């Protein structure tokens, strides 16, 4: 049987006591990005990755994060946590899954060079500092571009692009919801990037799936062109992401 996508095979898997047939993604990449915040305070992120590994035993993890656990630059009130982030802290958290972590980039967000304007707040998002979003796209670009530039890698290979605190942010998701989203992408040729939340809802860019090619196109667009995107877009903050994705991949 040919299902049109070499990254999927059939297996039996159980979610919440219900056994279902689904297509397992193989040779998938998980990108974790942004501040770790309180993601390591419990085992939920580890359990999510462990479950993904159950149906993709070739999963590779690539990370870009910042040198402290949390800064205070946000649309919401956050307390800065200056706990130093190191490779050792990350690898210790993932424990037996640590060998799947293929590359870690840790940077000080005060030392990086951002493109264009960094003053003020995002248009149509009065509480969201522009510099915070510039740093977000810088972080995402660094890790996506690292994978994109790896030698002899198939650019159609699927990527789960996910913030570290996907389970513990202002728009939290459950492990089951994330797993079902991944499973529902079975047979998808990934001619564009796909978002878990339907439409342009809050937190829509917290997790999305696409190929190395489609993700590199989208993330590069935001990293290098954010100022011009903000001028022309009818939306604010994360709602811009699916809008621009549709514009970049109109026929997908």
CA distance 217 to 205: 15
C-beta of residue 63 within 8 angstroms of C-beta of residue 45? no
Residues forming a β-bridge with 135: none
CB half-sphere exposure, 141, CA atoms < 13 A: 20
Structural domains in the chain? 27-248 (3.90.550)
The distance from CA 18 to its chain's CA centroid, rounded to whole angstroms, is: 27
How far apart (Å, rounded) are the C-alpha atoms in residues 86 and 122?
A: 31
User: How much of the chain is in helix, strand and coil states, percent to nearest 5?
Assistant: 35, 25, 40
107 closest CA partner among 137, 63, 64: 64
Which are the contacts of 227, defined by CB distance < 8 A and separation ≥ 6? 115, 116, 117
Report pTM.
0.89
Each residue of 160-174: pLDDT tens digit? 999 999 998 767 789
What's the pLDDT at 3?
A: 37
Give the pLDDT score at 184.
Answer: 86
In the predicted model, is pLDDT for residue 248 greater than 80? yes
Structure confidence at residue 200 as a pLDDT band (50, 70, 90): low
Judge contact between 195 and 70, C-beta under 8 A.
no
Runs of H (alpha helix) within the chain: 44-55, 87-94, 130-148, 175-184, 212-232, 240-248
pLDDT tens for each residue of 41-50: 999 999 999 9
Mean pLDDT, the chain, as a whole number? 86
Strand, helix or coil for residue 21: strand
Q: Does residue 22 surpass a pLDDT of 80?
A: no
Can you give the pLDDT at residue 55? 83
Model confidence band, residue 87 (pLDDT cutoffs 50, 70, 90): very high
């Amino acid at each position: 049987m040919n299902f049109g996508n070499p990254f999927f095979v059939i297996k039996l898997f159980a979610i919440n006591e219900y056994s279902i047939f689904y297509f397992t993604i193989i040779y998938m990449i998980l990108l974790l990005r942004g501040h770790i915040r309180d993601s390591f305070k419990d085992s939920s992120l580890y359990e999510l990755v462990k479950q993904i590994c159950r149906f993709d035993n070739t999963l590779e993890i690539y990370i870009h994060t910042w040198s402290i656990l949390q800064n205070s630059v946000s649309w919401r009130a956050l307390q800065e946590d200056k706990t130093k982030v190191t490779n050792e802290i990350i690898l210790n958290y993932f424990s037996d899954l640590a060998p799947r972590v293929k590359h870690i980039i840790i940077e000080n967000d005060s030392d990086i060079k951002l493109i264009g304007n960094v003053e003020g707040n995002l248009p149509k998002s009065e509480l969201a500092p522009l510099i915070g979003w510039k740093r977000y796209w810088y972080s995402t670009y660094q890790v996506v571009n690292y994978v994109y530039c790896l030698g002899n890698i198939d650019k159609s290979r699927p990527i789960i692009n996910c913030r570290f605190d996907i389970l513990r942010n202002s728009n939290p998701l459950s492990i089951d919801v994330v797993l079902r989203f991944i499973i529902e992408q079975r047979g998808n040729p990934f001619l564009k990037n796909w978002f878990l939340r339907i439409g342009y809802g809050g937190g829509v860019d917290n997790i999305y799936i696409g190929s190395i090619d489609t993700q590199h196109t989208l993330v590069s667009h935001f990293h290098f062109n954010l100022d011009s995107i903000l001028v022309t877009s009818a939306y604010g903050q994360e709602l811009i992401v699916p809008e621009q994705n549709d514009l970049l991949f109109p026929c997908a």
